[in-house]
């Protein structure tokens, strides 16, 4: 048995190892093997789709722009600028992920309507997950950790720039346009 395997077994809680062996599921340490923080190692249902996306498996080693979105908000047109950023920076390693939420009471009640607004009205091609809470005790695991590291979103379209190691580098309020010099300069710094 290699030293790295022995170290993993020594560091892993016994309950995880036992349940992993019994259930045939990978131990939690597997997320660390790809250099991904645990809070991103969750399966999220894709917006208006049956498939899921695991942010660790799909985007390990990449910088993230995580945004809480809403379909019926004055900031909803920012989808266009977010899509432009996706196109401009994806080859350099930036991944845009949208988290629709009704935490501020401005999301469509129907996933089909949310999808139509994102995909049809604004031409979104970046990853969008199903609607989930982003504030309080009900917040999804990604936004619980973003709040712990930085702060909770105060409104829709709060933008979190997250380094490949999972650390929040900067948070931008709703009013900061993704096309602004301030925002693109922060992305450039993140991708250096």
Out of 36, 56, 73, 118, the active site residue is: 73
Residue 94 CB partners (closer than 8 Å, separation 6+): 62, 63, 64, 65, 85, 86, 187, 190, 191
Would you call 56 a catalytic residue per the annotation? no
* Cβ partners under 8 Å of residue 125, min gap 6: 83, 86, 87, 119
Region of residue 123 (left: phi > 0; alpha: psi -120 to 50; beta: else):
left
- Rounded CA separation 46/116 (Å): 14
Residue 182, token pair as written in the block: 């301030």
3-state secondary structure of 160: strand
Q: Collect all residues with Cβ–Cβ distance below 8 Å to 67 and sequence separation of at least 6.
A: 82, 96, 97, 98, 99, 157, 158, 159, 160
Catalytic residue list: 73
């Amino acid at each position: 048995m290699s030293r790295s395997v022995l170290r993993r077994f020594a560091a892993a809680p016994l309950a995880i190892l036992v349940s992993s062996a019994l259930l045939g599921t990978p131990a939690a340490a597997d997320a660390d093997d790809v250099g991904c923080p645990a809070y991103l190692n969750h399966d999220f249902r894709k917006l208006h789709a049956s498939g899921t996306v695991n942010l660790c498996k799909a985007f390990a080693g990449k910088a993230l722009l995580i945004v809480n979105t809403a379909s019926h908000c004055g900031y909803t047109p920012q989808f266009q600028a977010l899509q432009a950023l996706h196109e401009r920076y994806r080859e350099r390693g930036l991944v845009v992920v949208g988290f629709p939420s009704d935490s501020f009471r401005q999301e469509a009640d129907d996933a089909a309507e949310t999808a139509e607004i994102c995909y049809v009205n604004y031409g979104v091609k970046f990853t969008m997950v199903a609607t989930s809470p982003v504030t309080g005790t009900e917040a999804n695991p990604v936004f619980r950790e973003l709040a712990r590291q930085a702060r909770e979103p105060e409104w829709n379209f709060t933008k979190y720039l997250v380094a490949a190691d999972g650390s929040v580098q900067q948070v931008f309020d709703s009013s900061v346009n993704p096309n602004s010099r301030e925002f693109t300069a922060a992305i450039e710094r993140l991708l250096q």
